[in-house]
Each structure stands twice: as structure tokens, then as C-alpha cells.
Structure 1
Amino acid sequence: MEPEKSLNKEAQALSAGQACSGHSGEPFLELHWEGRRFKNIQFPVSAAKELGVVESAIKALAREMWIKRYRKQRVPKGFSSKFNLFLDRLSQGCVNTVLVAGPTTGSQTELFVDDSYAVFDEAAEVFLKILAGEADESEVVDFKALDEALTFGKTLEPEDEVKLYRPGCRGLNSVVFTRSKRADVREKYGAKDEEQTLQISGWVASLDAKGELILSTYDGQSVKIFEDPASEGWNQYKKWLAPDRLSRPIRMEGNFLASPSGKISKSGSIDFVEESYPDDWYRRMAVVMNFADGWIDGQNGEAVSVQAKRIVDAILSYFYDEEILEGNRPGIYPLLRGGIQLEWDFDGVDWSIEVDNVGNVELSAFGDGIDLDGEVPAAQTYQETTAKVIKTLESMTAKAGSKSDE
């Protein structure tokens, strides 16, 4: 049987209801967007770029699948132009972008009988499998379109979530995609490093007269940056350079070349560098970090570990940035057993976060009718531990708020 006729037969089977709809005004693919940016049915322009990636990736996958299956050197004339996605509507609730296929221009080729697009349906399913991390690596690794498919989700922010859904389809018809999921999938399929705009938190580990600066990050990386030694910025870096126990936490934002796992391989332009939290917090941290073993009476009281300091630095940076404390400043105290305690009062509730020298964290909230606690075991990196602490704190804050309203 001729390849084109074989595909025509397959297309007719699909149009008879054996696969997806979506080529006659029905939804071909729906993307449900959730996150702060999508409240009130607002759709960020940056996120709209992802819709173009979807169309381009499905077209590219379909082209390679057709050539491979029918052992041709090229696809039929007008192949790509016969499949186009259109934003049909935004639905209520979370932002729900509904894409439909067609209409198309030009004459109908023999490949597309009854407006059925068999290979594009299959390509859409492969695309979803790639995003889910369920595509067989041996089947997709040779696709040139793989890298294009793996660019999807680049504009997602940490709290964003998008569910891709194909109504009425058999097999895999939905995938929930997040920024962390994207990193896992890109790493699994060996995606290339890509330029990203990142905000990095850490401290100045070293600098030399040639203008090379090493920034150590909270997730254990060393990022190399170059700065003019005669610049004002260089003098600022020198001011921040200090031993680990007294290092000043800073953050910077700029363009970096990063691997799928988040490892930074090259730094580009730096947009800004700033101190992570106010002077009064830093001065108090310096006092606490200067306490040596036996600081109570010569025998009792352990010195605070650098591990505990890193986690507390990261927590304080998050507090300052997100204004979680709503203007309140936490007390910063050394723990007798080694570690640091953050303590503050808000709306009649006493809050406490204790970080021990190993990196384990205990949280508590006590007030009128409120008695909450939480635990976060030490993770592999300061960043992971901090993220879990903040998530636990947000959950406890919500519970405390609901009890106060009763």
C-alpha cells in the first residue's frame, strides 16, 4: 500500500471517532493556567508565548513522525500550512485557553482526507508524553523537534501551574506542568542549556585583582562573575567579602546559561546586585555568629554552625522580600544546643522558628485558641530546606488566621 493512501485510511479511521476531535471548531487542546498571575482571568503576555511553542512543537514533531513512518525525504507540499492552532476563547474560573485547529488556506491535498489530521493528533499525544516524562527515550531522543518541545514552560513562575488537556482523546490526554516538573523533564531527555533570567541568592566567596568574583549560592553552586576592579561595584563586593561565619547574604538578578537541573554554566549580563536584608538583621546575626562554644558560662552553649546560618539567612531574605512579617522584625537568638531562633509576635500570636546546627527546623505558633507546630527535616541544600520552611509557615499562618476568625 502506498504511504499516502495508508495515511489517508488512518485519517478516515480517526474521523470515524477512533481518536481526538478538534479539527472542525471543537477544542483541540485546552490549557488551564493557575497562579497569582492568572487571577481575574488575566492572561500575561509572556505566557502567551507558550501557545506558539505548542503549535510549533506539534508541527515539528508531526513532520518528523511522518517522514520516519513513511520513509520519505520530505513531507507533502503544504504539510505544515494545513495545521494551525487558534486561540478560541478564555474560560471562567482559572484562565483556560482553548485552542482549535484550522481553518486553513489553500487547496486540500490528498494527504488530508475529510479534514482529518491523523499525524498531528499523534504528534500532540507525543508532545504531552514528553511533558509528562512518559515518552520512551529511545523513540524521541533522535527527534530534532525534541529540543523545541522542551522549551515549553520557560515563562512559568515558581507558583504557576498549567494543565494541558485534550478533550475526547484516548491514551494520555492530560498533563499537569510546573516549573519544577519542567526541570525534571528537561534533565531526563538531556535538553541543552538555555539562557534564563534568574535571581540568585548567596554570598561573595572570593574575588581577585583580575576582576573575577565567585558567588556561592544557597543551593551549593559556585557562580563565576567578572567585574571591573576599578568600578564602584567592585568596592561593594570587597565590602561584602567576609569569612563564612560573618558573610553578608546578597542577591543578584541577570541572564545566565543554565542546565535543565538548574546548574549555572555561564553568567551573562547582571541587572542588579543588592543586600538581601536590612542592616539591623545583619548586625544581630553577626553578634550571634561570634558566640563561641561555652558562651553561657564557659561550659554550656554551643556555637552556631554555618549550616544553621545559611538557612536563617535564606529565611530572613524571604521574609524581607515577601514582607511576610508585615513590618515586624524578628528577634534573633542563639540556641543553647546550637542553632538560631527567630521569634516575633503578630496579631496576638507568638511565632517561633528554631534552626538547629544540623539544619532541622521546628516552627510553632501560640496564642488565644491557637497552638500550632511544624517540623522540617534538613534537606540536601539550604534552598530546599528554606522552601519547605516557608511552605509550612504559610500553611500554619492560614490555619491561625482561620482560627482567629472563628
Structure 2
Amino acid sequence: MKTDFSQPRFTGTRFDEHTLPVDVARDLAAYESLIVDLAKHLYLEDHTDRQRVPKGFASNFRLDIERIDEGSAKPMLVLVLSGALALVGGERDYFERARDLVAECIAAPESALPENFPKELLAHFNQLGRSLREGEALELPCQRTGIAVLTPEKRKKLVLAADQVYEKEVDLLGSIAEVDFEKFSFRLRLADGGQVNVFMPDSFHNKAREYAGKPRHQVALKGVAAYDSWDRLQKLVSVESLDVVKNYAIATRMDELAQIQAGWFEGQGVAPDTDKLATVADKLVADYPERLMLPSIVPTQDGNLLLEWAADGAPSLDIHLDNLQASFHAFATNGDDIERDFDLETAEDWQSLFGFLNHSIRTKAA
């Protein structure tokens, strides 16, 4: 049998189309888990002579999404009961009491949480609401206040009411500072100077060897991390994905240039050709010489690129996107011009260019 149980409401721009992102559905699974554990607690509180809930108390209970209604995203959760619970109304009531108590807990100030909500179950809010982003909320019907609103900040406060750290989904970016292959881990040095130990799968070992100690190449990590009440990173809880972004500064700069629109310079600047720009970006990111200092990359008014190096002789490279050619210029020590042109059509052309740059560009003398 099934019956309407609760209809949460997700608010925020991601839910304007009345759809539910897959990652957000995990919040509903966490909600179900909290309901079950809280219902068990309430049952045992009422039956002090028992050490365990009746057999099948939880296994015969589940929440299903029957539909998603409009009004941001409003999934209708129906309670599906089977076995003994479908026939015993008294036990079924504990799940409804748990539902109402969860809403009361969310609606209450952290300093005045419901006394019958056990503190140890506040850890469930490490999962419930974890997918919410800034500006989003999960609303639950609440008998006492009408509505209970769970935001990322509220979720954090609920967890910290019983613990010293809380968990949240993170996107971290940093360089590999040190690798410990025996412990299958490496130390990720973050841009703000912080660092965190990362467990790595076997598939990442070769990349760890290749990019360790090379801050030019950044590791992009998605996962879950624990933070204290001051939002200081304490540790990684889990890692969902690890990717290396080669020549990160070049890659991000080329992404910025791809957003340029026509008229960008006093109403007259030509936007770079996005396809040609992508071709150049791929080569610069993938094959830029390891020992060659990074250039500054600026757009030109005619829709092309200018690369400049802070090196002896003020070297620069004009890349013409329209015909995929490049013109190098620098000053020799005697003041003469050094000029050379390159085609950029083939992989061999790019190798010739990079070989020349690697040989010709020297760091400025101190």
C-alpha cells in the first residue's frame, strides 16, 4: 500500500524548470535514511523494555517519488509499506512522527532544538542538503511553523550543534606537492597556501609521478571534505574524481578569451574565431614546453592573439587565427631585431615553434 507522505520543495535557479537534478535526488535518499533512524529512536523511547525494533520495522518501509509538481521542484514522496507494517497502524505512526520532528528540527534555532531529537542523528545533515548550492533551499512542511527551510548555512549549523566539523561537497584545485605511493596518497597544495592529504586510486599513480612538484599543472578534485566552524578545511572525506589540468594558467586564460564578444574594445574589437581559438588553445595547453616560462596572452583588436614573455629581448609572438600563422619578434643583445614566421597547421609546425621558443627565450638577468 502507498500513501502521500511529504512534499518537499526545492528552490533556486536549478529548479525553475520543475525538474530535479540527479545529484539533488541524493538528498531525498538521505531524508529517507534520517526518517528511518529517527523512527527507530522514537519507537525504542516508547518501548523501554525492548533493545531492538520489531523485525521488518525498517525493511518494509520506503519512500518513492510519485511525481514532481510545479512551484520550483516539488517531488511528491509517497510512503510505501509492506508486510506487517502495512497492517499495524501504531508502528506506521512512528515514521510520520519522525517526519514532523525532522521539520521541527530544521525550523528551530540551533540553540533550541527539539529535546526529543537525538543529537547523534544531527550527523545525518552531513548528507541531507549536501547538494544544495548557495542561494538554494529545501523546504519541508512543518506543523509548528508552516514551513521549515534547509539552506547550506542551516545544514552547517545543525551538524555543528553536535560535532566539531561538518561535511560539504567541494571542488578543490591545487598542485601535487608530495606523493606517498605506499600509502596511496599525495599532498595537495592549494592556492591559498593550505594543503590536504588525498587518497588516490591506482589509475592516478602515473599522473602523480608525472606532475608531482610541478605547480604549473593543477589537480582538479571533486569530493566531500570536512570543515570546522570557521570554514577551515580539516580533511577529505571522499574523492569523487581527480583530473589534471595541464598548464592551468594557459587553459583558464584561453577559456576567458573564448568569452570575448564582438565590439569588446570601444565598440570595435573583433572577437576571436572560436574554432581557431580552440585549436590554438589545445596545442598550447597540451604541448607547451615544460621549462619555458609562461607568457601573458592578450587579444588584439583584429581578433588575433599576442603572447608576451617577461624575458631578455622582450620576446613576443603574434598568432594570426585567420590563417594559423605566427610571427615572432625579439631584440638581440646588440639591439637588432630577431624575427621569424611559423605555420601552425600541423603537429610538426607546432613542434618547430615550441623548439624555437624553448631555445630562444631566456629569463631576464637579475
The SS at the match of 1:63 is helix
The CA distance in 2 between the partners of 1:255 and 1:349, in whole Å, is: 44
Q: Note if 1:263 corresponds to 2:233.
A: yes
The CA distance in 2 between the partners of 1:72 and 1:272, in whole Å, is: 54
Q: Note if 1:88 corresponds to 2:66.
A: yes
Identity across aligned pairs (percent)?
Answer: 22
Please list, as runs of the form range in 1=range in 2, the aligned pairs for 1:301-320 lying within 5 A after superposition: none
Q: CA deviation at 1:127?
A: 1.4
The SS at the match of 1:186 is helix
The CA distance in 1 between the partners of 2:260 and 2:188, in whole Å, is: 30
Amino acid in the other structure paired with 2:220: M
The SS at the match of 1:111 is helix
The CA distance in 2 between the partners of 1:223 and 1:121, in whole Å, is: 42
Q: Note if 1:68 corresponds to 2:45.
A: yes
8 A Cα contact 1:32 1:163, kept in partner: yes
Please list, as runs of the form range in 1=range in 2, the aligned pairs for 1:3-82 lying within 5 A after superposition: 25=3, 27-73=4-50, 74-76=52-54, 79-80=57-58
Amino acid in the other structure paired with 1:151: Q
Alignment-derived partner of residue 358 in structure 1? none
Alpha-carbon distance change, 256 to 328 in structure 1, aligned in 2, over 3 angstroms: same
The CA distance in 1 between the partners of 2:108 and 2:190, in whole Å, is: 29
Gaps of 5+ in 2: 270-366
Q: Which has the larger radius of gyration?
A: 2
The SS at the match of 1:28 is strand
The CA distance in 2 between the partners of 1:177 and 1:199, in whole Å, is: 22
CA RMSD of aligned residues (A): 4.6
Alignment-derived partner of residue 190 in structure 1? 163
8 A Cα contact 2:175 2:212, kept in partner: no
8 A Cα contact 1:31 1:162, kept in partner: no
**Alignment equivalent of 2:88, drawn from 109, 118, 124:** 109
8 A Cα contact 1:153 1:178, kept in partner: yes
**Alignment equivalent of 1:252, drawn from 220, 225, 228:** 220
Please list, as runs of the form range in 1=range in 2, the aligned pairs for 1:2-401 lying within 5 A after superposition: 25=3, 27-73=4-50, 74-76=52-54, 79-80=57-58, 84-102=62-80, 104-106=82-84, 108-109=87-88, 111=90, 117=93, 119-132=94-107, 134=109, 136=112, 139=115, 142=118, 145-154=121-130, 156-159=131-134, 161-166=136-141, 169-190=142-163, 198-202=170-174, 206-207=177-178, 214-218=187-191, 221-225=194-198, 231=206, 233-240=208-215, 248=216, 250-255=218-223, 257-259=225-227, 261=231, 263-266=233-236, 271-275=242-246, 277-279=248-250, 327-328=259-260, 345=264, 348=267
Amino acid in the other structure paired with 2:127: T
Alpha-carbon distance change, 183 to 224 in structure 1, aligned in 2, over 3 angstroms: same
Give the number of the structure whose residues are more often strand, by fraction.
2
TM-score of the superposed pair, with normalisation by structure 1: 0.49
8 A Cα contact 2:9 2:138, kept in partner: yes
Q: CA deviation at 1:97?
A: 0.6
Question: Which digits, 9 at most, give the CA deviation of each residue in 1:117-137, with x for residues without a partner?
Answer: 2x4333223212444563646
The SS at the match of 1:94 is coil
Question: Which digits, 9 at most, give the CA deviation of each residue in 1:63-100, with x for residues without a partner?
Answer: 21232244232445664467543323211242211223
- Higher-RCO chain (CA-CA 8 Å, sequence separation at least 6): 1
Question: Which digits, 9 at most, give the CA deviation of each residue in 1:211-269, with x for residues without a partner?
Answer: 986433345532235889x95644434332xxxxxxx5834214455346562424766
Alpha-carbon distance change, 264 to 254 in structure 1, aligned in 2, over 3 angstroms: farther
The SS at the match of 1:54 is helix
The CA distance in 2 between the partners of 1:36 and 1:184, in whole Å, is: 24
Alpha-carbon distance change, 202 to 152 in structure 1, aligned in 2, over 3 angstroms: same
Amino acid in the other structure paired with 2:148: V
Gaps of 5+ in 1: 1-22, 241-247, 282-316, 330-343, 351-406
The CA distance in 2 between the partners of 1:209 and 1:75, in whole Å, is: 46
